[in-house]
Amino acid sequence: MRDGKRTEASKEHDRWLRRQAVQIVAQLPESEEEALKILAHARELVSRFIGDDVGRWESRALRLVSNFENGEAS
């Protein structure tokens, strides 16, 4: 029975993750090419900041956003 509960919790978590993805996708432009570019930038942002402490994250996030706006890689 315990495995059944864990499986149900895992399924619910997966549904929650999918709902989050739908919310993100709903905000993307209609152009598949542009949407994929945005997601690539988002993936880079996430992979750079997961695991960092919040203060450092905010500082790096602001710098990275500024660099992206200026067309720089990092």
Residue position matching structure tokens 């960092």? 52
Number of domains in the chain: 2
Shared domain for 38 and 64, answered yes or no, is yes
Predicted TM-score of the model (pTM): 0.58
Domain range holding 37? 31-74
Shared domain for 52 and 38, answered yes or no, is yes
pLDDT at 57: 63
pLDDT in tens, 24-55: 999 999 999 999 999 998 888 887 777 555 55
Shared domain for 35 and 71, answered yes or no, is yes
Shared domain for 18 and 52, answered yes or no, is no
Residue 22 half-sphere exposure toward CB, CA atoms < 13 A: 6
